Chains A and B, each alone.
Chain A
Amino acid sequence: MQTINLTRDYDGDFVHRVEEESGQNVSLCYQCGNCTAGCPYTFAYDIPVSQIMRLVQAGQKKTVLSSKSIWLCATCESCTTRCPNQIDVACVMDVLRHMARREGLAAVPQVKTFWDSFLDSVKAHGRVFELGLTVNYVMRTGRFWTDLDLGPKIFPKGKLSLKPHEIAGKEHVARIFERFERESNS
């Protein structure tokens, strides 16, 4: 374990930005652990969510943004719902993902890839093309065995369309993404 120098290693700007982007006051957290207690994903996290909150309070930007936990949070809202101090913890986790993306960090790359594939599909067709999304994800991650077992179960049901559901306004949706990218880069 490393010693954290609280005078020198405290990144006040990071704390401030998390608070600003999430609209939450992280100093309200008194470390009761209710978020960790309720979080269904704690077993998969490298840092439990209550400690993520603590590390945010302590201004430990690098540790927080490089954690796996922020990519494994499913926004199930258990933490937000039960926080005795009414902190929207799930929103803080969301904002930490945004910040990690901006820093080029993604400690669980396949999750980010899956989400990116999803958004690519929406951008291209206006709606999610489920089969296309899965194929895109598999191609990008090389995880060819992913859900191979489900194919025989789901294909005969006639649910998975082989063609995307293109919508008339798909250019409009694409423009949302284009404008967003322009705004983010400016």
Chain B
Amino acid sequence: MSEAIAYYPGCSGLGTSKEYDASTRAVCRTLGLDLVDIPDWSCCGSTPAHTKDHVLSAALSARNLQLVSGMGIASAATPCPSCLTNLRTANHRMEAPAMAEKVNKLLDAPYAGGVEAISVLQALVEKVGLDEIKAAVRTPLTGLKVACYYGCIMNRPPELMAFDDCENPMAMDNVLSAMGATVVPFPLKVECCGASYGIPRQDIVARLTGKLLDVAKSVGADMVAVACPLCQMNLDLRQGQVNRALGTNFRIPVPYFTQLMGVALNVADEELGFGQLCIDPRPVLNKALSGADAQAKGA
């Protein structure tokens, strides 16, 4: 059993990415990774805060880091790369005493530093380890061809994120390979999907997400596994908008990597929330798995 990690689900975990939150909790529980909820956590400010002001942005994140500090826990994991970036940036910027002073002026309770923020993916790879993850597989994802899409800020910039390769990250590839899936080489792993421009500039998302789906299809992926709520929304919920804008007819399921892990670890279906995705991956998943099964029996 590993040490406890504070868990920061991020606002979308309560809404548009409920299934990411649920599958993360279920997978971590199954693997013995102890996630402790942060009482009364608040929004990190996401992109809108840092585009307005760096002190405000750091303060919104630091409030949460301060709460974790109060729990006596040294690290916090979040499934959302945007939250992760903000939490890590706050830590980084507050290393400068002048900045820390400005930020703490905005807070009720000052944050003295000392809480490391990491992604759920990093926690799984580093705190549980690939060998243990592999050992826990009950239903290997044999036959499933999956492209791993990390999104733009999970690993960038490398000096700040300090995890995995910034151009060709492999952590998710390794995890899903350990689950028995066939990971197809996906060259646009870190290319931006259009981020939060879905609402103000749908045309941008259509173009960028369309490119990702196009390349995923060309490398023969059955589905695209993601680690970011915003990426998931753009690739899945907006796939219809992409098709209309570009005249394409993509129908590629876009599950969270934690959902796929859940299948391999025999987590109960109702905890994985596949039904909450727009394109339900289960038919493709079942077809791939049964195909492999038939092949195994035939052999």
**Touching in the complex, A and B, CB below 8 A?**
yes
Give the interface of A toward B (CB within 8 A): 40-41, 43-44, 72, 74-78, 80-81, 88, 90, 94, 97-98, 101, 108, 110-111, 113-116, 118-119, 122, 126-128, 130-131, 134, 137, 146-147, 149-150, 153-154, 157-161, 165, 167-170, 172-173, 175-177, 179-180, 183-184
A174 CA / B91 CA spacing, docked (Å)? 21
Q: Of residues 21 to 70 in B, which have CB atoms within 8 Å of A's CB atoms?
A: 40-43, 45-56, 59-60, 63
B55-A180 in contact (CB<8A): yes
Besides A118-B46, A126-B43, A157-B275, 19 other CB < 8 A contacts? A41-B192, A75-B50, A76-B195, A81-B158, A128-B11, A130-B11, A130-B16, A158-B276, A159-B276, A167-B40, A168-B40, A172-B42, A172-B63, A176-B59, A180-B53, A180-B56, A180-B59, A183-B55, A184-B53
A41-B204, A76-B156, A172-B63 known; A128-B16 Cβ under 8 A: no
A161-B49 in contact (CB<8A): no
B204-A94 in contact (CB<8A): no
A160 CA / B233 CA spacing, docked (Å)? 13
B15-A78 in contact (CB<8A): no
A–B Cβ pairs within 8 angstroms, 8 of them? A72-B204, A75-B153, A81-B157, A115-B51, A127-B14, A173-B63, A176-B107, A183-B106
Nearest chain A residue, comparing its CB with the CB of B278: A153
Please classify the interface of chain A as helix (H, G, I), strand (E, B), loop, or mixed, using the class held by over half of its residues: helix
A75 CA / B197 CA spacing, docked (Å)? 12
A161 CA / B14 CA spacing, docked (Å)? 8
Residues of chain A within 8 A of B190, CB atoms compared: 78
Residues of chain B within 8 A of A169, CB atoms compared: 40, 42, 63
